[in-house]
Structure 1
């Protein structure tokens, strides 16, 4: 009888990692007793500033770095007790473009499948090449591919053995908008088929749109972990942006309570706590101050606000490249 799939795609308990110092350099602890659970079938965001410990955690999952302490299960398989089987349950897309320049995409995928012991009749090379938009480049040398194409090939390599868990480490760093959209379209399709997606990214807007659960890591510790909606609810702050009939140069005295400002476009920006203040109250105060309202918008706090508050680091803006 087939075993029921585990409820958690990843289960991490007390995970620690110490890199031993060399020469006179002291030891460096990269992870401090990390506890983290990734539900099966979720799209999970793992966020944090540079040096937070995300890559160390991913390299431990991939079998590239040995942990110092703790327990890790990948799709219900203990990494210490059954390391080879655990690694078959995960596919990792690294940040670095580590491809052999003299292999074609087809050869690279077939080789990767062979390393995982996938029989030739069960390989999905052509399906993957089509899915990542490389079918027309299947027999071109990897050295002739653009940076975006090489990144797509890395995604395909991570999927050759049909892993139930896929980890994408900064997959859209420096890639163009079209590639980003096509990649996420394919990842959503995989997620809908039951594949668990774990994403690390510095683009917080991307994580907020894609992930149903998010963990924020800082200095080797998990400082927040919850559903995306619950994390955003921690921020009680909103903004009311008022455009008057004439651009404003200063905040009216009756509204100058330290929470109001005039932006570069001459609009009045009022910050308030949605749990204690109603928009109607603010509008009454604005009208009482003699401001004629032409247009208004409200602005919710976003994941970047929470990220900055918890880590003290600013996130990277979403950018595109040619």
Structure 2
């Protein structure tokens, strides 16, 4: 028999949060799957847990199943199999509660270009069922959170891409959700705007006290998050903190080109118990925490009369993690080999 976790929070009709019992996970799934007519398996048995208050990244190439999974978790699509709870509500049996407790922003928003920022937010607050006074108060609050207070009277169509994305996120926060789902929030933004938006998201999590679940196909964006799940062909192939996923590969090395590579290898083995491999013109030293070891090894060699001509520390990347678990290079545009 499936046991439903107790609830974390709810939102009253006026947009104020109601205190509810605490649950350990903001998102919890078991065997979640979605098969479309014709036999297309978009999501294949996803097991996932996201802690309350976490900044979580769902990483994978386009078409890997990220958006479909989010639509299932937001109770906008019905699972073909498996179970999922979001903010304590079951997506199958309590979809109305799930929708009340989450905010969601998909890749393509439909803002009202001729409304001002404040008018757009107030309209959506009313659509969420907030009273007029609460809609005005919440509009002012999320404008401040989004850093858009000075643009409250600006027409939506005059905003830059980054500012419009902030407005989209503010709109998703109007009803005080417990979990905020952002599907490719930086799509279409240039690198500086993407970096600014991620700084905004980190601050937003603290101000709103919410769980942020972000899908992305940008490897570097996953580094901003507490934990990452990598999805490929509808399956989770790896999950953990970015640091743990990379360190598990055990491929950190220091590469050195010295005045006497043979002597350098002897010195490093004697002084630090490290094995140096001759890679042809240089030596490679497998070592955990290679950036920290780099100056230490150079100093040791210098103290023994071995001069270092070139030195570099290499660490695994999330691209290496993807290759390790899937057997192919990471291509953000397609999950197909």
Q: Which of 47, 57, 61 is equivalent to 2:73?
A: 61
1:301 corresponds to: 316
Superposition RMSD in Å: 3.4
Give the CA deviation at 1:183.
Answer: 2.6
Partner of 1:265: none
Quote the offset at 1:213 in angstroms. 1.4
Contact 1:261 1:270 in 2 (8 A): no
Contact 1:216–1:223 under 8 Å retained in 2: yes
Alignment map for 1:81-100 (pairs within 5 Å): 81-100=93-112
Is 2:188 the partner of 1:171?
no
- Match of residue 148 from structure 1: 162
Segment drifting more, 44-53 vs 142-151: 142-151
CA deviations over 1:159-208 (Å, ceiling 9, x no partner):
11111111122212332455334433332233335311112222222212
- Flag the 1:84–1:204 CA change in 2: closer, same or farther, 3 A: same
2:67 is paired with a residue of what secondary structure? helix
Question: Deviation digits for residues 65-95 of structure 1, max 9, x if unmatched?
Answer: 2221221211111122221221111111211
Cα distance, 1:56 vs. partner?
0.3
2:32 pairs with one of 3, 15, 19: 15
Q: What is the match of residue 102 of structure 1? A: 114
Give the gaps of 5 or more residues in structure 1.
22-26, 246-250, 263-267, 317-322
Q: Describe the superposition over 1:102-141 as per-residue Cα deviations: whole angstroms up to 9, x where unpaired.
A: 3322222112212222223223212222332333332333
Is 1:260 aligned to 2:272, yes or no? no
Matched-pair contact (CA < 8 Å) for 1:304–1:315:
no
CA distance in 2 between counterparts of 1:242 and 1:140 reads: 57
Q: 2: distance between equivalents of 1:17 and 1:271?
A: 46
Match of 2:56 in 1: 44
> Which residue number corresponds to residue 114 of structure 1?
126
- Compute the displacement of 1:261 (Å): 6.6
Matched, 1:34 2:46: yes
Q: Quick one: distance in 2 between partners of 1:269 and 1:302?
A: 21
Q: How many angstroms apart in 1 are the aligned matches of 2:131 and 2:165?
A: 25
CA contact (8 A) 1:191 1:197 kept: yes
Partners of 1:100 and 1:4 in 2: how far apart?
38
5+ residue gaps, structure 2:
1-17, 266-275, 333-337
- Structure 2 distance, partners of 1:195, 1:269, is 48
Contact 2:294 2:313 in 1 (8 A): no
CA distance in 1, matches of 2:170, 2:97: 20
Alignment match of 2:230 (pick from 216, 220, 234): 216
Gap change, CA 1:31 and 1:52, over 3 Å in 2: same
Q: Say which SS state the counterpart of residue 252 (structure 2) adopts.
A: strand
| d(CA) in 2 for partners of 1:120, 1:81 | 31
Shift of 1:55: 0.6
Q: Which runs of 4+ in 1 moved over 4 A?
A: none
Give the TM-score, by structure 2 length: 0.75
SS at 1:81 equivalent = coil
- What is the deviation of 1:315? 5.6
